[in-house]
Amino acid sequence: MSTKVYVVFYSMYGHIHRMAEAVAEGARAVPGAEVRLWQVPELVPEDVLEKSGAKAARAAFAQVPVIRPDQLPEADAIIFGAPTRFGNMCAQMRNFLDQTGGLWAKGALIGKVGSVFTSTATQHGGQESTLLSFHTTLLHHGMVIVGLPYSEARQMTLAEISGGSPYGASTISGGDGSRMPSENELAMARFQGRHVAQIAAKLAAGGQ
């Protein structure tokens, strides 16, 4: 029996996309997991993206399909990735989730596994508040929240600057966006993807 895992993300300069790929890699390591990578629609005008340099960065993952809200119920588990904006999820992800009211009314996501990863420019730029506030929306949908347990000991490292918390994997981009996810951060993302897929498989098997 297969388990469908959707990794749904928004990325402007590629940091979250790189983390999303690592999450998907980890999920694919679970036997029977069918993993798909999706991105949510962009809201920023093309000319603004070009001036900021984001248009060129986004070209690297332009092949990733854009998801519709009505596709979410197809998955057994959904792992969301979004950068922080002032301690909350970015507007693109918020706008996407705000379109899931019809799914909420039908209880279409109740019992599905939900998990989140994020990025910030600085070490204390709102990673935990973004992950925790994101969980609120998933709980309203009746999803089963899965984080990053301390069995993933990489989140406790003091040997280097690194993201990662019990609420989910994360990365630090630097003020100018020049820092891409470290191997430690990518390893945590892989762990999270694998962990979520394993739990989703168990829940799906129990439901049968």
Q: Residue ranges for the binding site for NAD(+)?
A: 13
Residues tagged in the binding site annotation for FMN: 11-16, 84-86, 140
For residue 122, give every residue at least 6 positions away whose Cβ sits within 8 Å of its Cβ, in sequence order, or none: 172, 175
- Of 7, 11, 2, 58, the closest CA to residue 30 belongs to 2
d(CA 101, CA 52): 33
Residues tagged in the binding site annotation for substrate: 104
d(CA 117, CA 131): 7
- Of 28, 34, 12, the closest CA to residue 118 belongs to 12
Confirm if 82 and 10 have CB atoms less than 8 A apart: yes
Q: Please count the residues of the chain.
A: 208
Residues tagged in the binding site annotation: 11-16, 84-86, 104, 140
